[in-house]
Structure 1
Amino acid sequence: MLLNFFHLSAQNQEENATGANETLSMFIYGSFLAPFGEEILFRGFLLQNFKRYGVRFAIIFSAILFGIYHGNIVQTPFAFILGLLLGYITVSYGLKYAIAVHIFNNMVLADFLDRFLQLFSENTATTISTIIMGSLALGGLYYLYRFWHTQRQKLFAPIDYSVIRSALFNLPFMILLVICLLEMLAGLTPLH
């Protein structure tokens, strides 16, 4: 809606970010290869190297990078939130579990769910999708509530704010951020 105010649309980006893969090779890439590679890079390498600055910083900053890496104005906020979850999973349980959740997200929640919802009318598909995603969100909130006391020490250790300033306001990160933002803006189309 905000983009519509500026007579722009992200419809093309939304279609590219969601939906079932068209070919078997894209299904294999999107469901297995991309999650595996992204987890190795963002949680296996970046998060582990950022942990020296604090676990919370490592999770959040690797999630920021994961979000903007997608280069899609529609997908970036979801990728950031997913990056937070995958970072938490990596820190708490290990990288292999983050890879499994990422594969589940891409294969089941994106590909299979989209194919399943195509069997229904738009209103029914929206209702089913809302119920499924709402149930997953409630399950996640219950989990956080249930295990909050054991994780709060790890996640809320003090942060050195000079580290955050150094991470966000350095030339390589600023260049990456500008390139990704320009890519996102280039994908917008004029509203007809």
Structure 2
Amino acid sequence: MPATMPAAMPVVMPIDPRRVWRTWRRKVVNRVMGLTLAYEGMMLLGAMVATIIVGVITASDLSGVQWDGIISLISVFVAFGFLLLMRHRDIFTCEFWLGGQHRDSYGEPNQLGHISQYGGGRMQPLWALMFIVLGMGVQGIVMLVQVAFSRLGTDLASPTSDSIAESSVTVSMWLYVGLVAPICEEVLFRGVLMKELKPLGKNFAIVTSAMVFGLFHDDVVQGTFAFLFGLILGFVAMEYSLVWSIALHIFNNAILSGAIDTLAGNYLDDNAYLIFSLSLSVIGVIGSIIIFVIYGKEMRQYHRTNRSIPDTYFGWAAPTFIIFVVANAAFAIISFVGAMMG
């Protein structure tokens, strides 16, 4: 009898774990950055609709600043409502705000139901003071750079800051800048974005959320401050809680950059105000240097401990991340160049 031919065995291609990791990583980044893009789109839509409605109701010229605060509040409420709709199962939990163990309810299939730790550390008064000083240091660095350029005959334009300063005479804009915007921004960038990126590593999540936060401001000068300040806010939210990052953000916007700066501007002449601002900047920078000298070793250890595995930052190749970066960076650069030339 003829010999029986053995059945052909299927060829199994070896699975490259590095390729699988890259694919999963891009999916994680793409998912949450898609939500961030949609949030930004909803803000723009809300602003457009609010502008039309206010214009029709009041039948007035909206070229002034009296309605800027109202329009800004409406736009952020529309966007935040969208965010609540998309992430309500996560946002409406105590762990989201106060930190602690939580069960992942969004993300890729292998993330769902996973228990992880987010925040939960106990904030000490000394640490809270140091985070405030670091925030002052970041603000001081940006201001000192602006002063240095000014002394060289070039004023670094910040269209967003100028617009906010002009319209901050209204209660609505004060409410937006000092309270509503910090809360909504922290929920999006540190609560949703950073939390969903945490499986890729704490460092990656903090840096990426800070970068997106900076670009979100569409302003070169203010965006630089927002990125650096976002690193501090990200660490606070990651290790303590979202409530503490919100408190720090509100303190910066409403107290340091709001009430104190406004009172100084109203009661001091130009020279005295400049001296006051420079003094605060120097105090913040010197205080930050002291903190880095004392706790630099612990900071480097934190960075090493939470370093992401190789190739993690290729997650920035996700389509939605690229779209967000290109669109916002282009707008910021065009706005900056236009303001500098104008």
Look up the match of 1:164: 313
What CA distance in whole angstroms lies between the structure 1 residues aligned with 2:252 and 2:321?
27
Look up the match of 1:137: 285
Higher gyration radius (CA): 2
What CA distance in whole angstroms lies between the structure 1 residues aligned with 2:155 and 2:199?
42
What CA distance in whole angstroms lies between the structure 2 residues aligned with 1:135 and 1:86?
20
Among 245, 263, 267, the alignment partner of 1:116 is: 263
Look up the match of 1:191: 341
Is the CA contact (8 Å cut-off) linking 1:67 and 1:78 kept in structure 2? yes
Among 183, 186, 196, the alignment partner of 1:36 is: 183
Percent identity of paired positions between Structure 1 and Structure 2: 28
- Superposed displacement of residue 46, structure 1: 1.1
Q: Given the two structures, how large is their TM-score scaled by the length of structure 1?
A: 0.84
What CA distance in whole angstroms lies between the structure 2 residues aligned with 1:108 and 1:8?
25
Within a 5 Å distance, the mapping from 1:8-47 to structure 2 comes to: 10=157, 12-16=159-163, 21-47=168-194
Look up the match of 1:78: 225
Is the CA contact (8 Å cut-off) linking 1:19 and 1:114 kept in structure 2? no
Q: Could you report, residue by residue, the CA deviation over 1:1-36 in whole angstroms, capped at 9, with x for unpaired residues?
A: 99xxxx997353441255772211111111111101
State which drifts further: 29-38 or 48-57. 48-57
Partner secondary structure for residue 237 of structure 2: helix
The 1:18–1:142 alpha-carbon spacing in structure 2 relative to 1, beyond 3 Å, is farther
Unaligned runs of 5+ in 1: none
The 1:11–1:172 alpha-carbon spacing in structure 2 relative to 1, beyond 3 Å, is closer
- Matched letter for residue 200 of structure 2: Y
Is the CA contact (8 Å cut-off) linking 1:35 and 1:99 kept in structure 2? yes
Instruction: Give RMSD over aligned pairs.
Output: 2.6
What CA distance in whole angstroms lies between the structure 2 residues aligned with 1:66 and 1:111?
20
Is the CA contact (8 Å cut-off) linking 1:60 and 1:84 kept in structure 2? yes
The 1:191–1:44 alpha-carbon spacing in structure 2 relative to 1, beyond 3 Å, is same
Q: Could you report, residue by residue, the CA deviation over 1:136-159 in whole angstroms, capped at 9, with x for unpaired residues?
A: 333334334444455543332333
Q: Are 1:54 and 2:201 an aligned pair?
A: yes
Structure scoring higher RCO (CA < 8 A, sep ≥ 6) equals 1
State which drifts further: 60-69 or 105-114. 105-114
Unaligned runs of 5+ in 2: 1-145
